[in-house]
Amino acid sequence: SQKIEQNSEALNIQEGKTATLTCNYTNYSPAYLQWYRQDPGRGPVFLLLIRENEKEKRKERLKVTFDTTLKQSLFHITASQPADSATYLCALDPNAGNMLTFGGGTRLMVKP
């Protein structure tokens, strides 16, 4: 069966450190993968999109990698801040038609 898995346990890190979140998928061949941030009671906010022919993408303190062989994406936040505390969701679109399938999300807590 098709699955998108993220670490369901919260990730606690110290301010200033690099946070690394993992997204693994099975039985998908996505053309691209997206990462979103969600704060409690709010809708997800788009962060980064990476295509299958891109190994790495960066935006300010964010970096995403996409390994189609391992079927895994890693999401990094460098120099993390307490304001980065949120749930981070990975999503892929099996049919490239705006029907995103989301992972369960990983809650990140950055402690000052």
Q: Which is nearer to another protein, 3 or 55 (CB)?
A: 3
The rounded radius of gyration (Å) of the Cα atoms in the chain is 13
Binding of another protein by 99 (CB under 8 A): yes
Binding of another protein by 28 (CB under 8 A): no
Q: How far is the CB of 99 from another protein (least distance, A)?
A: 4
Burial track 20-49 (b if 16+ CB lie within 10 A, e otherwise): ebebbbeeeebeebbbbbbeeeeebeebbb
The stretch among 18-26, 35-43, 57-65, 66-74 that binds another protein (CB under 8 A) is 35-43
**From CA 91, how far away is CA 60, in angstroms rounded?**
21
Q: How far is the CB of 105 from another protein (least distance, A)?
A: 7
**From CA 97, how far away is CA 20, in angstroms rounded?**
28
Query: Which of 10, 59, 11 lies closest to 34, judged by CA?
Result: 59
**9, 43, 53, 60: residue in contact with another protein (rule CB under 8 A):** 43
The binding site for another protein (CB under 8 A) comprises 31-32, 34, 36, 41-46, 49, 51, 89, 91, 93, 95-105
